[in-house]
Amino acid sequence: MFKKTASIVLGASILLTSVGMGVHATTNDKEAKTTSKSSVKNVIMMVPDGYSTAYATNYRWYKGKESTMDPLLVGMVRTHSANTEVTDSAAAGTAYATGVKTNNGMVSVTPQGKELKTVLEGAESKGKSTGLVVTSSLTDATPAAFSSHVTDRNNEVAIPSQILSNDVDVILGGGKDFFLPEKLGGKQTSQNLVEKAKKQGYQYVETEKQLANVKGNKVLGLFADEGMSPELDRETTKEPSLATMTTKALDTLKKDKDGFFLMVEGSQIDWAGHSHDAARAMKDAASFEKAVEEVVKFAKKDENTLVVIAGDHDTGGMSVGGYDQYDTKVDILRNVTASAPYIESKFNKDFSNVKEVVKQYTKLDLTDEEVQRIKDAKQSNGDQPIKDSDNVAYTISNIISEHALIGWTSKAHTGTDVPLYAYGKGAHSFSGLKQNTDIANLLAKAMNVNLN
């Protein structure tokens, strides 16, 4: 009786797995026969920071059709850290990079402070080239977790030298201030790491045009003093898009006959969630999707590349619909052409042009009550008005979210599971509900790397 029951359960499990894998079923059945026999040449880990199922659903409505990632869905990821049900990006990044859960705030070290080997370091031990592409500072939690080890994520001045010591071949993102001998919050970097990088053979660039002209095998691109601009505001800068940086990374790293490991992060989806800027979140999700398209196109042509995509946690507790209405109006966000901080920057000193400016960048007609909410967020100090950027921009963001019927439950992260996507050689291994630590172990296994 037991054997019969077990056979029924096993059969149902196999059926559900094949259904859940959707369009991957045929491809992955073929892959399953070959993956165990040989390691994957190239591995690309892509992290849309803060991206949960609510973001994925809202983005589908925002785009008006299925996203590039939707057909690649293979499972879900549990995100808790070692010391709490709600992770931060440091602990989440550490799990993805090392296969070990640590405490919030710690970067690729155990809760006791012992350094952990990362999949990037493991790839290098196999002679592979490596790369980091982000829209945050390169010293931020996620890129730091793959390339460095610190007990406190706020110790950002200690991270750039470790990135260079690890000899990461392609380093693209923000964080120029942390590579140069300038004061940062009272701290002082010990040396000019840009000059050190040049001596190590890196071509150094600061603009999109300079990046396009890179021809060598090693590149350091620092496009902003700290974090790069939101995609909504990027046209006002000389910064490259995430897709442009990703394409350059692929073109550079593919020269290595031993293959490569690349981590790409859409960093600012998370930042938008923290500030409840739904339009910014959707626009940065679109920017991330373009990078995904470039990566998948590369993997299809290469046929020996594994692509894994997963947010590290949810940010903000975004909802699909809200405010007691059975509806959503995400399409409103398509009319928003600037981030909330940028909109705020266009207000005059006494905030008398709030209604006109918001109309210009969002096409929304604010009510008098909404205008007053924005004015009330401005603090005054005697005769000198002082704009509290967080309060003013946050208020603008929430008003836009209300019009779009997108709700929020937190300014921080939440502990919900996040969607997991995979494509290419070995993608079948990622199907099902995974711990975030499973991701690193599967990436390491794909490259035949030992993380212990």
For range 30-46, the mean pLDDT? 68
Does 390 count as an annotated binding residue?
no
Decide if 28 is inside a domain.
no
| Torsion over CA: 53, 56, 59, 65 (sign) | negative
CB 195 within 8 A of CB 202: no
Q: Which of 1-10, 141-150, 214-223 has the lowest mean pLDDT?
A: 1-10
pLDDT band of residue 390 (cuts 50, 70, 90) is low
Q: Per residue in 309-351, pLDDT tens? A: 999 999 999 999 999 999 999 999 999 999 999 999 999 999 9
Residue 378: what pLDDT?
A: 85
Label residue 191 by pLDDT band (50, 70, 90).
confident
Q: What is the mean pLDDT of residues 82-89?
A: 98
Is the distance from CB of 291 to CB of 242 less than 8 angstroms?
yes
Does the pLDDT value for residue 389 go beyond 90?
no
Backbone angles phi, psi at 359, to 5 degrees: -60, -40
Give the pLDDT confidence score for residue 123 in this predicted structure: 98
pLDDT at 213 over 50: yes
Task: Please state the rounded mean pLDDT for residues 284-297.
Answer: 98
- The pLDDT assigned to 38 comes to 62
Tokens of 52: 């949960």
CA dihedral 168, 169, 170, 176 (to 10 degrees): 60
Residue 434 in contact with residue 78, Cβ under 8 Å? yes
**Is the confidence at residue 224, as pLDDT, over 60?**
yes
Question: Quick check: is 56 in a domain?
Answer: yes
Pairing state of beta strands 187-188 and 314-315?
unpaired
pLDDT recorded at residue 289? 98
Are both 244 and 303 inside the same structural domain?
A: yes
- Is 306 a residue whose pLDDT tops 50? yes
Work out the mean pLDDT of the chain and round it to a whole number. 90
Q: Is 313 annotated as a binding residue?
A: yes
**21 found inside a domain:** no
**What count of other Cβ atoms lies within 10 Å of the Cβ of residue 149?**
22
Q: Tell whether the model's pLDDT for residue 439 goes beyond 60.
A: yes
The verdict on whether residue 276 carries a ligand-binding annotation is no
Instruction: Give yes or no: residues 392 and 305 share one domain.
Output: no
The pLDDT value recorded for residue 18 is: 38
Tell me, yes or no, whether 174 lies in a domain. yes
Q: Are residues 377 and 235 in the same domain?
A: no
| Gap between the Cα atoms of 56 and 62, Å rounded | 10
The answer to the question of whether 149 is labelled as a binding residue is no
As for how many domains the chain has, the answer is 2
Residue 140 assigned to a binding site = yes
Banded pLDDT at 45 (limits 50, 70, 90): very high
pLDDT at 386 over 60: no
Q: Is residue 100 part of a domain?
A: yes
Residues contacting 313, CB < 8 A, separation 6+: 50, 52, 79, 86, 87, 88, 89, 92, 413, 414, 415, 418
Whether 431 shows a pLDDT value over 90: the answer reads yes
Q: What are the start-end ranges of the E strands in 275-337?
A: 305-310, 314-315
CATH number for the domain harbouring residue 337: 1.10.60
Q: Which domain holds residue 399?
A: 330-404
Q: Are residues 344 and 245 in the same domain?
A: no
431 and 399 share a domain? Answer: no
Lowest-pLDDT range of 35-39, 86-90, 120-124, 210-214: 35-39
Average of per-residue pLDDT across 22-39: 43
Sequence-distant (6+) residues with CB within 8 A of 164 are 193, 196, 197, 200
Residues 213 and 129 in one domain: yes
pLDDT band at 6 (very low <50, low <70, confident <90, very high): very low
Backbone φ, ψ for residue 31 (5° rounding): -65, -35
Predicted confidence band at 7 (pLDDT cuts at 50, 70, 90)?
very low
Q: Kindly state whether residue 233 falls inside one of the protein's structural domains.
A: yes
Give the closest residue to 179 by CA, choosing from 168, 291, 108, 47. Answer: 168
The residue among 33, 47, 81 whose CA lies nearest residue 415 is 81
The reply to whether 4 falls in a domain is: no
Whether residues 377 and 423 fall in one domain: no
Chain centroid to CA 432: how far?
Answer: 21
- Is 142 within any annotated ligand binding site? yes
C-beta separation of 287 from 269 below 8 A: no
Question: Domain for residue 397, yes or no?
Answer: yes
Tell me if 167 is assigned to a ligand binding site.
no
0.85 exceeded by the pTM?
yes
Active-site hit among 39, 52, 67, 89: 89
Stronger pLDDT, 187 or 10, i.e. the higher one: 187
Res 187: pLDDT: 53
- Residue/partner pairs of 379-388 with CB below 8 Å, 24 or more apart: 385/349, 385/350, 385/351, 387/344, 387/347
The Cα 404–Cα 82 span in angstroms is: 36
Tell me, yes or no, whether 425 and 397 share the same domain. no
Least confident of 12-16, 43-47, 92-96, 333-337: 12-16
User: 378 and 419 share a domain?
Assistant: no
Kindly compute the dihedral angle of the four CA atoms of residues 106, 109, 111, 112, in this order, to the nearest 10 degrees.
-130
Residues 341 and 223 in one domain: no
Residues 85 and 104 in one domain: yes
Q: What phi, psi does 360 have (nearest 5°)?
A: -60, -40
Q: Any residues with CB less than 8 A from the CB of 356 and at least 6 apart, and which?
A: none
Query: Residue 188: what pLDDT?
Result: 52
**pLDDT for residue 74:** 98
Average pLDDT over residues 366-393: 74
Residue 39: predicted pLDDT: 86
Of the chain, the percentage scoring pLDDT greater than 90 comes to 85
> Same structural domain for residues 284 and 376?
no
258 by Cβ neighbours in 10 Å (0-12 / 13-18 / 19+) ranks as exposed
Across residues 135-159, what is the average pLDDT? 97
Is 89 considered catalytic here? yes
pLDDT of residue 8: 38
Residue 227 has pLDDT above 60, yes or no: yes
* CATH number, domain containing residue 82: 3.40.720.10
